[in-house]
A and B are shown apart, each in its own frame.
Chain A
């Protein structure tokens, strides 16, 4: 069975450019999470969707970040305009239930470098 699929795996861009990261959760999972991982701050939850509805976006750094989940099989995380401090590995994860009850299945991550 396919796991969580993220694209692109690697992205190098220049400051000010728009970045779009994509995620396909595991079929049947009703919760989707976007995390950011850096050496300094570890894994940080950015936003959490349940049944395609954003439940908690308190971790989204600022207005430059936005996330959408138009249907149960697709989500995007957009950064516009990007800045060097956004450089990190962005993970998408999905689960059958809420975050506090079940296992999170992570994708392989999208490594973003903003020059």
Chain B
């Protein structure tokens, strides 16, 4: 059982569409990070959210941390083929960073 559940597991959409992926847990995290991983490479940090209810924007990407610090969402507006990749959320628990299983996003042109 994953400590962090991500949904959907896989998403295939057309260029220009909007999408939201979710990261949920029954546990509280002191902070939560979102990473993006491309084939053959390691994950790269997109954002860190720390405060319950926090919203951060990174160009077309909007990240939200739940009020209770147990869940988070990533919304992409007008998706582009370059957004294709594996999106991972990771929560800080004690001295560890625990990763969800990820959402595979494919954006078709």
Contact of B42 among A55, A56, A91, A99 (CB under 8 A): A91
Cα–Cα, bound, A48→B102 (Å): 22
Contact of B96 among A4, A45, A109 (CB under 8 A): A45
A94-115, CB < 8 A from B: 98-101, 103-104, 106-109
User: Contact at B95–A98, with CB atoms within 8 Å?
Assistant: yes
Report the stretch among B11-19, B67-75, B86-94 that lies at the interface.
B86-94
A48-74, CB < 8 A from B: 48, 55-56
Report the minimum CB–CB distance from B43 to chain A (whole Å).
Answer: 5
Q: What count of chain A residues pass the 8 Å CB interface test?
A: 23
B101 CB within 8 Å of chain A: yes
A-B contact pairs, 21 of them (CB 8 A): A41-B101, A42-B99, A42-B100, A43-B99, A91-B43, A99-B92, A100-B30, A100-B92, A101-B92, A103-B33, A103-B45, A104-B33, A104-B90, A104-B97, A106-B41, A106-B42, A106-B44, A107-B42, A108-B40, A108-B41, A109-B42
Give me 4 other A-B pairs in contact (C-beta within 8 A), A48-B96, A91-B42, A100-B97 excluded.
A43-B102, A98-B95, A106-B43, A109-B41
A residues adjacent to B (C-beta < 8 A): 4, 33, 35, 41-45, 48, 55-56, 91, 93, 98-101, 103-104, 106-109
